[in-house]
């Protein structure tokens, strides 16, 4: 263990903040201090802020992370200031997640792990070219997957962690993604059957690397078949065709990036809207909710009841 700038740098390169006060909330749940209370991430309030580094695991504090409702909420303040008082309504808003930073061949990456209560599989998702892991469709899919007993890890590519919006070249994206998969399956997602996917650019990365990662299925949100507005743009269908495991593509009916065709191992569900998939998030969620139990059954993992 070594220290950098007052912070501990622990196993597998995970940066952990210094120990903070161990506070107990309802039902004995551990809370961090006030600065670690961050908004619950849902499809309604998703935004790029995500979890701050201060909300990472404090050594000796279990479980590894916490997300509750807004810190300004009076009830949450009461829970922090008076931990012994019963506040069942607030207790119901708590979900656990952990954020990890780790090295890749092309810089620091970040993973936000949302564990299912009794996980039967893991789903690792990547973001789009100019967006982040708080994209509404990624958030909606995370909710569905966890309800089906699938833990979810949302991976931020190094270029995003570094504050850049323009994506890195494909070979760098793929290498960083493979490093993220290696890190996660050796740690938080150990021993769980692996599913991969992402939205737009993240879906392409997941498809290109599916064989190497050993993924048992691939979930593509808004797969960009070709560059928009170009009549003779090169097709990226070969990236989808190369995947031999079950694939679900959820695509907006008016997506200017094109509509992939269905195939033997590929299910394509059209939903209202365009490339953002924001027009009908419930339709996106329903598409994944209908597909996921079948995938779990194929890999020998019974669907959640």
pLDDT of 189-245, one tens digit each?
999 999 999 999 999 999 999 999 999 999 999 999 999 977 678 999 999 999 999
Quickly count helices (H) and strands (E) in the chain. Answer: 9, 13
Q: Which of 262, 196, 250, 241 is nearest to 221 (CA)?
A: 250
Fold of 98-298: Rossmann fold (3.40.50)
Question: 3-7, 136-140, 260-264, 273-277: which has the minimum mean pLDDT?
Answer: 3-7
Is the CB of residue 167 less than 8 Å from the CB of residue 132? no
Rounded to whole angstroms, the Cα distance separating 183 from 109 reads 10
Check residues 52 and 141 and name the one with the higher pLDDT: 141
Q: What's the pLDDT tens digit per position in 58-80?
A: 322 223 333 322 322 333 333 33
Map out the domains of the chain as residue ranges: 2-91, 98-298
CA-to-CA distance for 101 and 158, rounded, in angstroms?
10
DSSP state of 83: T
* Angle, alpha carbons 172-176-179 (nearest 5°): 145
Model-level pTM? Answer: 0.71
User: What is the DSSP secondary structure assignment for residue 120, as one 8-state letter?
Assistant: S
Structure tokens given for 17: 């903040």
Averaged pLDDT, 34-61: 34
Helical spans, DSSP H, in 41-132: 74-81, 88-91
């Amino acid at each position: 263990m070594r220290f950098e700038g007052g912070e501990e740098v622990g196993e597998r390169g995970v940066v952990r903040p210094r120990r903070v006060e161990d506070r107990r909330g309802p039902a004995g749940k551990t809370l961090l201090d006030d600065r670690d209370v961050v908004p619950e991430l849902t499809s309604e309030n998703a935004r790029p802020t995500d979890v701050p580094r201060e909300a990472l695991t404090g050594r000796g504090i279990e479980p590894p992370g916490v997300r509750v409702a807004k810190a300004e909420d009076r009830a949450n303040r009461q829970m922090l200031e008076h931990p012994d008082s019963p506040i069942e309504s607030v207790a119901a808003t708590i979900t656990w997640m952990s954020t990890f930073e780790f090295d890749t061949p092309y810089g620091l990456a970040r993973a936000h792990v949302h564990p299912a209560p009794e996980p039967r599989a893991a789903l690792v998702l990547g973001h789009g070219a100019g967006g982040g892991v708080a994209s509404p469709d990624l958030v909606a899919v995370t909710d569905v997957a966890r309800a089906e007993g699938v833990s979810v890890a949302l991976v931020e590519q190094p270029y995003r962690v570094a504050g850049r919006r323009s994506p890195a070249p494909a070979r760098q994206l793929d290498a960083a993604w493979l490093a993220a998969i290696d890190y996660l399956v050796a740690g938080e997602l150990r021993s769980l059957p692996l599913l991969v996917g992402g939205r737009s650019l993240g879906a392409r990365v997941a498809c290109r690397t599916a064989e190497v990662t050993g993924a048992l299925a691939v979930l593509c949100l808004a797969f960009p078949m070709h560059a928009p507005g170009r009549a003779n743009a090169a097709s990226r269908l070969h990236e989808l065709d190369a995947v031999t495991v079950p694939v679900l593509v959820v695509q907006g009916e008016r997506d200017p990036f094109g509509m992939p065709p269905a195939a033997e191992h590929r299910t394509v569900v059209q939903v209202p809207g365009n490339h953002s998939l924001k027009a009908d998030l419930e339709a996106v969620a329903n598409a994944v909710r209908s597909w996921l139990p079948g995938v779990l059954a194929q890999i020998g993992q019974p669907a959640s009841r």
